[in-house]
A = this chain, B = another copy of it.
Amino acid sequence: MPETGQQVGTRQRVEDSAALLFRRQGYAATGLKQIAAESGAAFGSIYHFFPGGKADLGDHVVRRAGAAYRDLVATALGGDADPETAVLSMFDAAARALAESDYADACPIATLALEVASTDERLRMATEAVFADWVDTATAWFGQWVPRPADRDLATSLIMLLEGAFLLARAARDPGPLHIAGQSMVTLLRAHRSG
């Protein structure tokens, strides 16, 4: 039986609330009751949409949020013809978004990824797939300017610097680490282009 418009709306609200809570406070701290309360959905309706409960919802949200964030980063990188300017703009945009959310909204999956890496194999694999997708996307972008394997090394470093900067910036409530990360990425890009 296809879902009705109302059901689609409820399911969307459940996913959005779960994504926001997993991102801000993590997976273990977020119960289905809180997701139901935040989304205005009946508790039972979560099981209607996600028969496996929290694990199903977590898997779905990681993959959906991962794809959305990949598109966001790709758009930010693609906005400028000069790659150094594009990299700096991407980190500036991340810093602005983080500060505007009162240091709550950084990487959509990092908290969950660290929580589940050694405890939940299904969710670990979902986070692995998302990070691999991000690195592939950034590799294709860097491939416009540097040869293999520098393209993939730069892409991996971009994701690592972004994640590390989000961690330090959230802990200190300070966007500074994101600006340092952006400058370091420019230095790395320049070194690989001239090497």
In the bound complex, do residue A168 and residue B131 qualify as a contact, i.e. CB atoms below 8 Å apart?
yes
Of the listed residues A106, A128, A173, A180, the one surrounded by the most CB atoms of chain B closer than 10 A to its CB is A180
Q: How far is the CB of A192 from chain B (nearest CB, A)?
A: 8
Grouping DSSP codes into helix (H, G, I), strand (E, B) and loop, the A interface class, with mixed when no group exceeds half, is: helix
Judging by beta carbons under 8 Å apart, are A163 and B167 in contact? yes
Q: Are B159 and A168 in contact (CB under 8 A)?
A: yes
Please report the C-alpha to C-alpha distance between residue A162 and residue B177 in the assembled complex, in whole angstroms.
14
Chain B residues positioned under 8 Å from A172 (CB to CB): 128, 131-132
**Docked complex Cα distance between A27 and B187 (Å):** 36
Checking B25, B26, B29, B161 against A164 with a beta-carbon cut-off of 8 angstroms, the contacting residue is B161
In the complex, what's the smallest C-beta–C-beta distance from A37 to chain B, in angstroms?
Answer: 16
Q: How many copies does the complex hold?
A: 2
CB-defined contacts of A191 to chain B, threshold 8 Å: 187, 190-191
Interface residues of A toward B: which range?
35 or more
Interface string of A172-191 (1 = CB under 8 A from B): 11000100110110011011
* Shortest Cβ-Cβ A-B pairs, 6 listed: A160-B164, A28-B29, A28-B28, A117-B170, A163-B164, A111-B114
Taking beta carbons and an 8 Å cutoff, which residues of A are in contact with B? 24-26, 28-29, 102-104, 106, 110-111, 113-115, 117-119, 124, 127-128, 131-132, 135, 153, 156-157, 159-165, 167-168, 170-173, 177, 180-181, 183-184, 187-188, 190-192
